[in-house]
Amino acid sequence: MSKIEAPRGTRDILGDESWKWAYVRRVAQGVVNDFGYKEISLPIFEHTELFHRGVGQTTDVVEKEMYTFLDKGGRSITLRPELTASVMRSYIEHNMARGSQPQKFWCIGPMFRYERPQKGRYRQFVQLDIEAIGSKSPLLDVEIIDLSMEFYRRLGLKNLQVVLNSVGCPECRPLYKKALQDFLAPHLPELCESCQGRFDRNPLRILDCKTPSCKAITENAPSILDHLCPDCRAHFDTVIKALEKLGAEIKLDKRLVRGLDYYTKTAFEILSGDLGSQNAVCGGGRYDNLAEAIGGVSTPGVGFASGLERVVLTMESQGATFGKEPRNRAYIVTADDTAVLEAARTANILRASHIATDMDYMSRSVKAQMKTASGTSDFAVILGQSEIEQHNYTLKNMATGEQETLSLEELIDKLK
């Protein structure tokens, strides 16, 4: 029979990598605690309509990339391609506007997008998602950007660039859209096929097309920053001023428009110089009209999400540390079969004393067991016939080779 493999675009994260993920999660938890964010756990699937109305019908995510199916009750269900719409759905559903504002959330979990897989781009991937809902303050945008930078700083990531733009609001964006269409209209036949399709439906997306001919055409396109209404302009200026005060190095990028329709005002990404074409380690921004789009009352919000595969890849390529790979403290080596019951009892006692312990379950030779002990553990606890008769243990330090004979109490004390 043919072998069954993991679906394209998914990855098994195995033991030799998962401890690195555990480290990244621990660092994330430390950062979110220090910024006062609370964990939120939401469903992996939602009603499809949430993403149609929240993320936007004309986005690539909704048009091409969603895992959508009818459940056995005939409802259209979608595996979440992102979390912002779900967090806002939950905020509205649980009337969180009643509590003190803003409410701040964090979550780590899998997202699903039917994209063409390549390095740093998967069909199932893990995001750290951060959302702050309920305040219009530009200083909250700054907090979000600061949080993302603090996360990468603690992980030791280098060679990152923060790029920032404003995508305006429903008042000023239509005027900019018109100016952009007027500029692009004479070049329409030279745009790539996708951008020709975007011209009427979503012209701002043409600005971040990677096709060289489109890039050349949009080089001199009007900038949205010259078309912001006074409110969006003042908001953007405060964000920049406050980031400068924090000493953050940022680059303004008039082409940055983000791929999801809910954004208003601030949009940002952090790019890694070590990732190739899928170089955004995170992306985010403000989304003051999302709540209304999904049936709530007007509620501002701002947040970002970071793809953790890309974070781990960047750390690996930069040789960043993931802390110490966890090792067992003790490996019990049995000299013959008569010792195995005693070995199992000793393992039970050591584990109950919070000493990470493993033992042999394959009746292997002492030599093979010692090899495993040296590869996986700090100490070998050797149990042979004489140790069993004399109720003691031989403890071998795998780094120095030193050996000593100890009672059970001494063994526990030493290993702790």
Nearest residue to the partner ligand HAM, using Cβ: 307
Q: Select 134 or 303, whichever has its Cβ closest to ligand HAM.
A: 303
**Tokens 């692009």, located at residue:** 184
Distance CA 30, CA 34 (A): 6
Q: Select 130 or 359, whichever has its Cβ closest to ligand HAM.
A: 130
Minimum CB–partner distance for residue 195 and ligand HAM (Å): 19
Minimum CB–partner distance for residue 127 and ligand HAM (Å): 5
Q: Select 125 or 379, whichever has its Cβ closest to ligand HAM.
A: 125
Minimum CB–partner distance for residue 235 and ligand HAM (Å): 16
Minimum CB–partner distance for residue 65 and ligand HAM (Å): 8
CA distances from 256 to 225, 245, 263 (A): 11, 23, 11
SS3 303: strand
Q: Select 150 or 358, whichever has its Cβ closest to ligand HAM.
A: 150
Q: How many CB atoms lie within 10 A of CB 298?
A: 9
**Tokens 């007027």, located at residue:** 182
Distance CA 25, CA 305 (A): 14
List of residues contacting ligand HAM (CB under 6 A): 82-84, 113, 115, 120-122, 125, 127, 129, 131, 259-260, 280-285, 287, 303-307, 309-310
Beta carbons of 82 and 260 less than 8 angstroms apart: yes
Minimum CB–partner distance for residue 290 and ligand HAM (Å): 9
> How many Å is the Cα radius of gyration of the chain?
28
Q: Select 113 or 396, whichever has its Cβ closest to ligand HAM.
A: 113
Under 8 Å CB-to-CB from 237, ≥6 apart: which residues? Answer: none
Minimum CB–partner distance for residue 334 and ligand HAM (Å): 46
Q: Select 266 or 334, whichever has its Cβ closest to ligand HAM.
A: 266
- Sheet architecture: strand order including 68-70: 45-47, 76-79, 68-70
